[in-house]
Amino acid sequence: MESFHLEILSPERPFYKGDCVSLVVPVSDGMMGVMAHHEPLTAAILDGELQFTTPDGERKVCVVSRGMLDISQNDARILCDSALAPDEVDEALEKQAQTDALIAEQEKEGLRDYRRTQLAFAHAVNTLKNRNKKMMQD
């Protein structure tokens, strides 16, 4: 299989820079797959599990939060709020974030606050789900 260059970048650090043969990212209408020579594209990505396969066949998984995917000239770049390997997820911290979001939702004052707490809750649940899923596979 042909490979393409992939960069996964967050404000904290570059998560991955290298070649891959396939990429699957969470987008608004499900999961989107990318392979070498994909059409140029810019898309929003959502909180979820991102998967990619390196040229040596190793499948890698990370938990990403919202951001953007840009594909051009056999190069894919992902800019996201955070990117973590499943073993980097702080389970206690995410459970606390989940609890805090539930409490905030109960105290919501308006639609904006309600949406913000929904996003925080979804992010915490997604991060924990993907961490636990990967840990069970290992």
pLDDT tens, per residue, the chain with 138 residues: 899 999 999 998 999 999 999 999 999 889 999 999 999 999 999 999 999 999 999 999 999 999 999 999 999 999 999 898 877 766 676 667 777 777 776 666 666 777 777 888 888 888 877 776 666 665
Cα 51 from Cα 125, distance rounded (Å): 18
69: its two tokens: 């995917």
DSSP symbol at 40: P
Q: How many CB atoms lie within 10 A of CB 99?
A: 12
Q: What is the pLDDT of residue 135?
A: 60
Q: How many CB atoms lie within 10 A of CB 131?
A: 22
Cα 86 from Cα 103, distance rounded (Å): 26
Cα 123 from Cα 25, distance rounded (Å): 15
Q: Strand pairing of 59-64 and 75-80?
A: unpaired
Superfamily in which the 4-84 domain is placed by CATH:
F0F1 ATP synthase delta/epsilon subunit, N-terminal (2.60.15.10)
Full-model pTM: 0.68
